[in-house]
Amino acid sequence: MPKFVNADQSQLYLLPPDLREWVPEDDLSHFVLESVDRVPMSAFKVNERGTGSAQYHPRTMLALLIYCYAQGTFGSRRIERATYRDVGVRYVAGNRHPDHDTICKFRRENFEAVSEAFLRVLLLARELKLLRVGTVSVDGTKLDASASKRNSIRRDRAEALREQLRLEIGELLGKAESADASDAEEAGGLPAELRRREKLKAKLDRACAELDGRAKAVAAREREEYEAKVAAREKREGRRKGPAPKPPSGEPRPEEQINLTDADSALMRKNKRCEYRQAYNAQAAVDADGSQLVLGSRVSACASDRNELVADVDAMPAELGAAERVLADNGYATGSEVAELEGRGVEVLVAVGSEDRRRAHDFRPPPEDKPAPPEPKADWIRSMRKKLEAEPGRALYGLRKQTVEPVFGIVKEAMGFRRFSLRGLEKVEGEWALVTLAYNCKRLHNMMMA
C-alpha cells in the first residue's frame, strides 16, 4: 500500500505571532526594509497637517513597492491583493493592507523618495566594496506605454476630424433645440451622441495645441543655428554665398503624430524587422566593472538613441563620481555627443559599423549585392574605428553586451516588466526609476548572499 502525507484543508492552525518565522533569513524582504530605512523622511510627501485618518508609514509603503516590483507585481490592485496572499509581502507591509488607491497615490507622489532610495542603495554597494564607478555601459530598450497605438493620430487627420465634429455638433445642437422640453428632461439634458462628440473634439483640440507647442519649441531651439548660418553666409562674397538657409517654420508637419491617451509616448519599434508599438525609450547606464548595477536611468520619448548619450551619463548621481569610460552601440554614434564627453575627459567607445550584421550561418536568404559603403569623412569616425579594431578597444567594447543587455533581459523576463502603468513622461520616468531600483536591490542582495 502506498503511503501519503495527509492534507486536511479543514485542519485549524495557530499561525506564529512573529511573521519573521515564515520568511527565510536570506529573503529579499529583509534587505529592502534595511535599505529603505536609509531614506530620510524629508524625501517623502506626507500629510504634515495631521488631519484625517492616520497614514501608512511612507517607508513601509516604499518598501512595499520595491519588494513587489522586484517580485514582478506591478499593478496597485495586484499589490493590494498580495498583502493578503503573499507571506513576504505581508511581512514587508507589517501585516497591513493598504488599498489600491492609497498605493497608486503614494507611487505618483513620491518619485523623489524613489530617487533617494536609488542613490542610497548604490552608496551602500560602494561601502561594501561591490561598486566602483569606472567603465559604464549605456543602452536603451523599448517598453510599451499605457496607451494603444490605435489612438495615435496625424496632425492633418486631426484637423479634418475637428471640422467634421464641428459640423456634427452643430447639427445635433439644432436637433436638441427643436426637441420637446419633456423629451430633453427624459434624456438627461444633451443627447449622448452630442456629449461623445464634444468629448472627442476636446481631445483633438488639446492634441493639436500640443503639436503646435512642440513645433514652436523646436523652432526656438533651431533659431540660434539658423541665425548663425545667416551670419556666416553674409560674410561670404559673390557666388560663394550659396542658397539662403530656410528659417524654422514653427508649424507642425502634416504627418506629425500624437497619441490621444498618452501624448508623451510615441510609435517606436525595436528594429526594422519589428512592428511599431506605442512605447517609450527606457535608458540605463550600467556598471561594467563587475557589479552590473544600474547607475543611472531615464526615459526618452524619442525612438532613436542618437542624442541620448550625454543625457544618460548625466543621469548618474554625482555622489557616485564621474565615469572614466563609456561603452555604447552604434545607435549612439553622434559626433557632437562623443566630442562633449571626450571634452570632459571621458573615454568613449561607440560602434560606428552596421548594426545589421549577419551570422556566419544565417537562416535568412542572402541580401542582394550592394556596393561597399564609402570611407567615412568624419575624423572622429575613422579614429573610433581604429580604436575598436585594436585589441584593447575590442576587448573593452565586448563588455557592453555582457553587462547592459542582460539587465534588460532580467527586467523584462525575470521581473516581467514590459509595460508602464503610468502615463506622461515625468511619471513614466519615475516608474522606470522604481523598476531599476527594484532590480538593483535584487542584484545587490544576490551579490551579498553569494
Residue 9 lies in a domain: no
User: Which pLDDT tens digit goes with each residue over 304-347?
Assistant: 999 999 999 999 999 999 999 999 999 999 999 999 999 999 99
The CATH number of residue 270's host domain is: 3.30.420.10
Task: Specify whether 291 is located in the same domain as 250.
Answer: no
Quote the pLDDT of residue 423. Answer: 95
Write the CA distances from 281 to 104, 179, 219, 284, 373, integer angstroms: 23, 52, 24, 10, 29
277 and 320 within one domain? yes
Q: Does the pLDDT of residue 231 top 90, yes or no? A: no
Please report where in the chains the cell 507647442 appears, as a residue.
213
Query: What would the pLDDT profile of 23-50 be if each residue is shown by its tens digit?
Result: 999 999 999 999 999 999 999 988 776 6
Instruction: Give pLDDT tens digits for 341-375.
Output: 999 999 999 998 765 566 778 787 877 776 666 67
**Mean predicted lDDT score pLDDT of the chain:** 88
Question: Quick one: pLDDT band at residue 239, thresholds 50, 70, 90?
Answer: low
Residues 98 and 132 in one domain: no
Q: Report the pLDDT value the prediction gives residue 183, as an integer from 0 to 100.
A: 55
pTM, full prediction = 0.88
315 plus 417 within the same structural domain: yes
* CA within 13 Å, CB half, 221: 5
Confidence of residue 190 (pLDDT cuts 50, 70, 90): low
pLDDT the model gives residue 185: 45
Asked if the structure places residue 4 within a domain, the reply is: no
Mean pLDDT value of segment 374-386: 82
Give the CB-side neighbour count of residue 410, counting CA atoms within 13 A: 20
The number of beta carbons lying within 10 Å of the beta carbon of residue 186 is 8
The verdict on residue 65 lying in a domain is: yes
Q: Does any domain span residue 362?
A: no
- Other CB atoms within 10 Å distance of the CB of residue 103: 22
> Per residue in 53-93, pLDDT tens?
778 999 999 999 999 999 999 999 999 999 999 999 999 99
Asked if the model's pLDDT at residue 184 lies above 50, the reply is no
Q: Are residues 233 and 175 in the same domain?
A: yes
Question: Structural domain of residue 394, as residue ranges?
Answer: 125-148+264-354+376-449
Task: Note whether 238 and 161 are same-domain residues.
Answer: yes
